[in-house]
Amino acid sequence: MAEAGGLLSGGSERRCRERLAGAAGRGAAAAAAVLVPLCSVRGRPALLFTLRSRRLGGPHSGDVSFPGGKRDPADTDAVATALRETREELGLELGAERVWGQLRPLPDRQGQLVAPVVANLGPLENLTLTPNPDEVEEIFTLPLAHLLREENQGYTHFCTAGRYSYTLPVFLNGPHRVWGLTAIVTELTLELLAPDRYRRKTHMLARSPSV
């Protein structure tokens, strides 16, 4: 497979911004937002993930996730929510110019819509991250080249009432397994960045429960 170095280039950014422009306003009704942090590590394009602190308790404790959370009444839109949550969780102040746009909102396990906001952090070596230990247990990255290799892509079939209902993606062979809503957002991001190189794993045959 060719090196994924061009996926965060200026030409790729313009193409992605144009594709995402049609989603403007789609996150307005979302109850929460996450930041999808593109970055580079030693020159290699990557995605940054967090491992949620077990101190949080609840169903998402210890899960792999992107920075994010519920919309605050003071947040003007989904972008504001994602940037605020990133600042609170990672101590990282990002300007709106870093944001490329929004992917389509997705339902979480409770059925509430979550708006994924795509942003480019730039070289990770140039950033100082100060994760909040009450929310973030670990920060790790996965190169886009790793995520695009078929041997690192899996899927899980789900059944409802004894019948096949839907399939969701799983990303393997990294420090932690990426699954659930975070895997679906990762999949949408790979389709955005490399539409000719990623084959979708999500497949619905019937109305599935929220993920």
* pLDDT on residue 207: 43
* pLDDT on residue 57: 58
Is there a domain that residue 111 lies in?
yes
The answer to whether residues 208 and 166 touch, using CB atoms and an 8 Å cutoff, is yes
Q: pTM here? A: 0.90
CATH code, domain with 140: 3.90.79.10
CA atoms within 13 A on the CB side of 119: 26
4-21 pLDDT, tens digit per residue, is 668 999 989 999 999 999
Q: Hey, which residues does 167 pair with through a beta bridge?
A: 157, 203
CA angle 27, 38, 78 (to 5 degrees): 15
Is there a domain that residue 211 lies in?
no
Q: Which domain holds residue 53?
A: 5-204
Compute φ and ψ for 61, nearest 5 degrees. Answer: -60, 130
What is the number of domains present in the chain?
A: 1
Is there a domain that residue 30 lies in?
yes
* Residue 142 neighbours by CB under 8 Å, 6+ apart: 46, 47, 49, 171, 174, 178
Handedness of CA 120, 46, 158, 198 (dihedral sign): positive
* pLDDT on residue 1: 40
Between CA 97 and CA 120 the distance in angstroms is 9
Is there a domain that residue 210 lies in?
no
Low-confidence ranges of the chain (pLDDT < 70): 1-5, 23-28, 55-61, 164, 204-211
